Amino acid sequence: MSLLQLDHIAMHYPLRRSVGRATGTVRALDDVSLSIAPGESVGLVGESGSGKSTLARIALKLQSPTEGTLRFRGEPVAERGTSLRAFRSAVQAVFQDPYASLNPRMRVGDTVAEPLRSLPRANRPHDIAAQVAAALAAVELPADAAQCYPHQFSGGQRQRIAIARALILQPALVVLDEPISALDVSIRAQILNLLAELRQRRGMAYLFIAHDLPAVAVISDRIAVMYCGQLIETGPAARVATAPLHPYTQMLFASVLDPHDAHAWERPLPIGEPASPVDPPSGCRFHPRCPHAIERCRVDAPALRDTTGGQIRCHLVP
Amino acid sequence: MSALLDIENLHVAYADGRVPVLQGISLQLQAGRTLGVVGESGSGKSTLAQALVRLLPAGARQTAGRVQFEGRDLGGLNERAMRELRGKAMAMILQDPLSSLNPLLTVGSQIAEVAQRHLGLNRAQAWQHAAELLRAVRLAEPEARLREYPHQLSGGMRQRVAGAIALAGHPQLLIADEPTTALDPTVQVQYLRLLKDLQERHGFALVLITHDLGIVARLCDDVAVMYAGRIVERGPAAVVFGAPAHPYTRALLGSLPSLHARAGALRAIPGQPPQPGRLPGGCSFHPRCALASAQCRAAVPPLASTGVAATACWHASTLLPLEATT
């Protein structure tokens, strides 16, 4: 059984010109279905406007979709009550900017302890200080960090604090939305290693969102690719990263400039800019940028269908 | 041949000289060449860009050294002469075009302003020049774009407009500070290729400042790797990336995740880059370096030639060549 299941999720916003009636619809997400197995690490990639951060917010139940169901361990996530509280404990988040996500006036120890203190009294542990010390140790921060304030730490150390806070309730799933993109290049590998090691030790599942494609490839078991509000390809991480099937996935991964890859510059140049979810193109949403598009792609929207080990949304892939 | 840009022993410090951010930077750039400056936050790479155009933020000042452009010492120019140089012979592209473009003026008037001021064109000629520049940066329907405001354009289109403004005065030198960091990967590659094509056509020299090693490896003739306000390695890009000599450059290249190298722990660099004003003694990289010795803790290594390149490391001569390919 899957741990978290996003079932036919749609997120549509009415588009208004200042005041008045809706003049259109922003189709931020359209019929997105994605499931995460216990202990699985799923990487979500796509460019701006693809809907990956909206999907992350829905997976965290920070916003409700206009259509579709979020299920946790098979059950729809409730709107309130103890079942929602249990979901909130089991699914935690780490965000991009550790300068914005930590309260500057709270000691690090209190920040990390906060999820424990907000548990109902009956479930609250007695050894909060010991658990905080263990969480700080797990992210390789010194024990005396608990007495300090966030400004006393560098960006990489702050992200470790955010990870410690996410881990303290022993979550089954952690949603990581661009957790390394605000960090220095020499720090990113430290955090990626830490995340990989913590997952191996604790058996958590990850939903990992990043625009750093090599980082996604390293941390994920499976990669899901989004374009303009839709999933267009899913598959095993190594296969998607090195032998992508969808023309968009090919274009995306071909734009990685790896300093060790002397041929990175010789690949065909990407065409156009990411499509806008305000007024998505007809047919296949990628067709205006697709080097292989045929007439059918302009009129007939391809469905997401199963392939060996994954899914694909393209008329041209057999 | 004398260099287009000649930086000699440049020192910049904040807080009345108490917090050094650049310590003895020396670099040369020939006309039409591309120099990549790579570094992390606090390395001083953006301060270097600001010092080149003499637009250091309040509180920062040049405490020693000299910047020569086309054989002229920029320190000897008054503000009026400097303003004449900026935007004409020296142009700049910044990371966020939304903050460098005027939100209240149309794209056309912002490009035409530069052409009128620096090239002495009349209004009609300047607008025509602006349309040509938008065509040169490959914006579709340039005449329509001229009448639009920055907020009506996508991030990639805005950065193309910033490129058109930079080109308007026919610069000899273009300084681009993280020009593609805010762009999507597919748009980034398009923009970098455009910059390279424009450089081939217009012949300007390019200083590209970035944290992205992949960009520098592909785009630049020469590279300067900065760490804690100093250049720790300098040389042709093929040499620095093919056979990195400084332990920091080696460690940085070795720590990058790759699409083809799955699983297995990444070779992370321990510790954090130091902040300006809180530098460790001796070589600034020594607390994070596997090779650090007593000498490294005691004295700053000079940037010494290793043949075609130069490295600031006490152990440079004893380091074995490293296969950079993974």
Q: Which 3-state string (H, E, C) describes B30-97? A: CCCCEEEEECCCCCCHHHHHHHHCCCCCCCEEEEEEEEEECCEEHHHCCHHHHHHHECCCEEEECCCH
pLDDT digits (tens, 9 = 90+) for B205-226: 999 999 999 999 999 999 999 9
A303 lies in some domain? no
Q: What is the pLDDT of residue B280?
A: 94
CB within 8 Å: A48 and B184:
yes
Helix (H) or strand (E) holding A71: strand A67-72
Is a pLDDT exceeding 60 seen at residue B325?
Answer: no
Interface of B with A in 21-40 (CB under 8 A): 40
CB contact A184 to B (< 8 Å): yes
Domain that holds residue A144: 4-236
Q: What is the pLDDT of residue B324?
A: 41
A126 lies in some domain? yes
Contacts of B251 in chain A (CB under 8 A): 186
**Nearest chain A Cα to B243, which residue?**
A260
**Residues facing A206 on adjacent strands:** A41, A174
> What mean pLDDT do residues B81-91 have?
90
CB within 8 Å: B213 and A185:
yes
A278 lies in some domain? no
CB within 8 Å: B257 and A242:
no
> What mean pLDDT do residues B139-153 have?
92
Tell me the CB-side half-sphere exposure of residue A266, using CA atoms within 13 A: 3
A38 lies in some domain? yes
Tokens of B271: 């510790």
Q: What is the pLDDT of residue B260?
A: 78
Contacts of A47 in chain B (CB under 8 A): 184-187
Counting the structural domains of chain A, the total is: 1
pLDDT digits (tens, 9 = 90+) for A259-282: 888 788 888 889 888 998 988 999
ipTM: 0.90
Q: What is the pLDDT of residue B258?
A: 87
A164 lies in some domain? yes
Of A48, A184, A189, the CB nearest to B41: A184
Q: What is the pLDDT of residue B129?
A: 93
| pLDDT band per the 50, 70, 90 thresholds, residue B320 | low
Is a pLDDT exceeding 50 seen at residue B8?
Answer: yes
* φ, ψ of residue B27 in degrees (nearest 5): -150, 150
Q: What is the pLDDT of residue B251?
A: 94
CB contact B221 to A (< 8 Å): no
CB contact A279 to B (< 8 Å): no
Q: What is the pLDDT of residue B162?
A: 93
Interface of B with A in 167-206 (CB under 8 A): 184-190, 192-193
A31 lies in some domain? yes
pLDDT digits (tens, 9 = 90+) for B71-82: 999 999 999 999
CB within 8 Å: B257 and A257:
no
Helix ranges, A185-287 (H): 185-202, 213-219, 237-242, 247-254
CB within 8 Å: B215 and A257:
yes
For A76-100, what is the HEC assignment? ECCCCHHHHHHHHHHEEEECCCCCC
Is residue A168 a contact partner of residue A113, using CB atoms and an 8 Å limit? yes
Owner of token pair 């914006």: B139
Q: How far apart are CA B195 and CA B177, in angstroms?
A: 13
Q: How far apart are CA B176 and CA B174, in angstroms?
A: 6
Helix ranges, B137-225 (H): 142-146, 155-168, 185-202, 213-219
Q: What is the pLDDT of residue A1?
A: 79
CB within 8 Å: B255 and A189:
yes
Using alpha carbons, select from A59, A51, A43, A33 the residue that is nearest to residue A239: A43
A313 lies in some domain? no
Instruction: State which residues of chain A have pLDDT below 70.
Output: 17-20
Q: What is the pLDDT of residue A48?
A: 86
3-state secondary structure of B13: strand
CB within 8 Å: B186 and A251:
yes
Q: What is the pLDDT of residue B264?
A: 60
Is residue A8 a contact partner of residue A33, using CB atoms and an 8 Å limit? yes
**Residues facing A209 on adjacent strands:** A44, A177
> What mean pLDDT do residues B193-199 have?
94
Any idea what the CATH number is for the domain that residue A113 is in? 3.40.50.300
CB within 8 Å: B186 and A255:
yes
Burial A113-142 (b: 16+ CB within 10 A, else e): bebbeeeeeeeeeeebeebbbebbebbebe
Using alpha carbons, select from A9, A123, A113, A111 the residue that is nearest to residue A64: A9
Is residue A44 a contact partner of residue A233, using CB atoms and an 8 Å limit? no
* φ, ψ of residue B164 in degrees (nearest 5): -65, -40
Q: What is the pLDDT of residue B326?
A: 36
- Cα-Cα end-to-end distance for chain B: 38
CB pairs under 8 A between A and B: 136
Is a pLDDT exceeding 80 seen at residue B34?
Answer: yes
3-state secondary structure of A236: strand
A241 lies in some domain? no
